[in-house]
Amino acid sequence: MIHVEIAAETLFTIGGFEVTNSMVGAVLASLLLLAGAWYITRRSALVPHRLQSLLELPVEWVANIVQGSSTRWRGYVALVIGLFIMILVANWLSLLPGVGTIGINHEVDGHEVLTPLVRPAAADLNFTLGLAIITFVVFVWWGVRLHGPLGYLKELVGEPRYMAPLMFPIHLISELSRLVSLSMRLFGNVFAGEVLIATMLALTTATLFVLPLAFFVPAIFLGLELLFGAVQALVFALLTMTYITMAIAEGQGDHADEHPTGDDHDVQPSTTTASSPA
């Protein structure tokens, strides 16, 4: 029987604080990233060896994209790369054997239900909403930094001023829609992927007649999930970059590249146009 739980399941509580299986997934992804970072910083070489090249490849790739987004790319490149790597590792971790399949059995309404010990972090709305809130705060901060607090509020109110009662809620809804869109897209895609794989496994192991298919059909979908996991991580990271770039461009006006302000040492004359997300 397929059991799909939209909310992450609580494994245990520590002093009233509920530890869910998606938290375990997020912690595992973080530990994996820390181990990778530790390895790179301890054993890095000027001419990278194979493993170092492999670990540096996604970082360099995203850094090259961000470099072309605006003249102030140094201010947010770490966030974009961090988001990409974290989501990528969290998504790919869900494809490992045991994730979602090893857990604790318990009875619900007479049926035996499995509570997995590890659940993909992005299959929990709390995780994706947390990341989206970080992104939201950062691009609002960039807007406030370049306009000033009053200038940012004036931007929200819009021109002409007598249209403020109409334009302020419209601007507010439009800004909030970014937060919801970022979090819901990632959660929806990863959760749907989990449900799809569970359904395919259940269908192909349902009867002895179709049992041989259980070895091939889920493998196809696991391969697709490998691709979707990377695409979703990239989309989240690049949309973060796009939102920040938009906030910077609005702050600097349409002549941003002619009169860069503030941290001019970040200016890269040859890279002034934004790249579109994949």
Partner 1 sequence: MGIAFDLGIRLGISVILGLGGGLLLDSWLHTSPVFTLIGMALGIGAAMYTIWDVAHDAMRK
Residues that bind partner 1 (CB under 8 A): 166, 169-171, 173-174, 176-178, 180-181, 184-185, 234-235, 238-239, 242, 246, 249, 254, 273-274, 276-278
Q: Taking Cα atoms as reference points, which of 52, 51, 47, 76 lies closest to residue 63?
A: 76
Measured CA to CA, the distance from residue 114 to residue 222 in angstroms comes to: 21
Three-state DSSP state, 10: strand
Give the Cβ contact number of residue 118 at 10 Å.
23
Q: How far, in whole angstroms, is CA 252 from its chain's centroid? A: 28
Q: In angstroms, what is the minimal distance from the CB of 47 to partner 1? A: 34
Locate tokens 């000033």: which residue? 148
Q: In angstroms, what is the minimal distance from the CB of 180 to partner 1? A: 5
Q: In angstroms, what is the minimal distance from the CB of 254 to partner 1? A: 6
Write the single-letter amino acid at 277.
Answer: P
Q: How many CA atoms lie within 13 A of 203 on its CB side?
A: 10
The partner residues of 113 in beta bridges, in order of sequence, read 106
Nearer to partner 1, 44 or 177 (CB): 177
Q: In angstroms, what is the minimal distance from the CB of 226 to partner 1? A: 19
Q: In angstroms, what is the minimal distance from the CB of 147 to partner 1? A: 16
Measured CA to CA, the distance from residue 231 to residue 209 in angstroms comes to: 35
Measured CA to CA, the distance from residue 268 to residue 216 in angstroms comes to: 49
Q: In angstroms, what is the minimal distance from the CB of 238 to partner 1? A: 5
Nearer to partner 1, 69 or 94 (CB): 69
Tell me if 191 sits within 8 A of 6, measured CB to CB. yes
